[in-house]
């Protein structure tokens, strides 16, 4: 019964978080080509089935973020695996969301993190060993281990461009609503500095 209650809490929190995103104007420019997924893990998550995400991801319709489907466990692979790896080093982060990366945004996000006393991390894809690049599914543990080398695990991180991969920012939170609120605050700061 406790697991079912936690699952309901996770799904309900994701619904509230998606509503916050859908109601926010002027943030569509932060949509990456691969679209956004927002994920939230059970406290005991060990695999992607233990992480809820948005079916079909979040996209843009008429200039606003829109969820393509409902929150569901197992709806995400990439972001779910990312969060599971993150939680091995920083278990407090149970939610995460990806968003657009480009070189111009890096400096602005660095300034935002400095002003908010947040930690920003970078994954340098050019350092990834070839044997990891060539083995499907083995990059995520390597990438997240790179972030864990600092004194404090970052709340926001990005990876540098890599062949055939869209570089993305990822923002973390204690739950999906906290993650989205942090993202919306960042989005407002980025919009005002553009």
Q: What is the pLDDT of residue 163?
A: 67
Q: In the chain, what is the greatest distance between 2 CA atoms, to the nearest angstrom?
A: 49
Contacts made by residues 164-167, CB under 8 angstroms, sequence distance 24+? 165/125, 166/32, 166/33, 166/34, 166/101, 167/101, 167/125
Query: Nearest-CA neighbor of 87 among 139, 148, 28, 37?
Result: 148
Q: What is the pTM of this model?
A: 0.94
Average pLDDT over residues 69-80: 97
Tokens 């050019």 — which residue? 126
Mean pLDDT value across the chain: 94
Q: Which pLDDT score, from 0 to 100, does residue 189 have?
A: 96
DSSP label at 142? H
pLDDT 10s digits, 123-176: 998 888 888 877 777 789 999 999 999 889 999 999 988 766 789 999 999 999
What digits encode the pLDDT tens for the residues 49-61? 999 999 999 999 9
SS3 58: strand
- pLDDT above 70 coverage of the chain, percent: 98
Contact 139, 166 (CB under 8 A): no
Kindly give, in sequence order, each residue whose CB lies less than 8 Å from that of residue 37, ignoring residues fewer than 6 positions away: 53, 54, 57, 58, 75, 76, 78, 79, 97, 98
- CA–centroid distance for 42 within its chain: 16
The residue-averaged pLDDT of 18-36 equals: 97
What does the pLDDT average to over 77-95? 97
């Amino acid at each position: 019964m406790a697991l079912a209650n936690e699952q309901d809490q996770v799904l309900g929190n994701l619904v509230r978080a998606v509503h916050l995103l859908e109601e926010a104007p002027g943030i569509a420019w932060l949509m990456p080509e691969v679209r956004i997924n927002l994920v939230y893990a059970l406290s005991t998550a060990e695999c992607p089935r233990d992480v809820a995400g948005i079916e079909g991801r979040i996209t843009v319709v008429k200039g606003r973020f829109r969820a393509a489907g409902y929150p569901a466990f197992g709806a995400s692979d990439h972001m779910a695996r990312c969060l599971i790896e993150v939680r091995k080093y920083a278990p407090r982060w149970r939610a995460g969301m990806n968003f657009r990366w480009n070189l111009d945004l890096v400096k602005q996000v660095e300034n935002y993190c400095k002003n908010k006393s947040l930690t920003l991390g970078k994954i340098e894809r050019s350092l990834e060993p070839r044997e990891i690049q060539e083995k499907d599914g083995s990059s995520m543990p390597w990438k997240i281990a790179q972030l864990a080398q600092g004194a404090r695990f970052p709340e926001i991180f990005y990876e540098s461009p890599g062949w055939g991969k869209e570089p993305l920012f990822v923002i973390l939170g204690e739950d999906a609503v906290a993650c989205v609120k942090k993202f919306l605050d960042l989005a407002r700061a980025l919009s005002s500095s553009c």
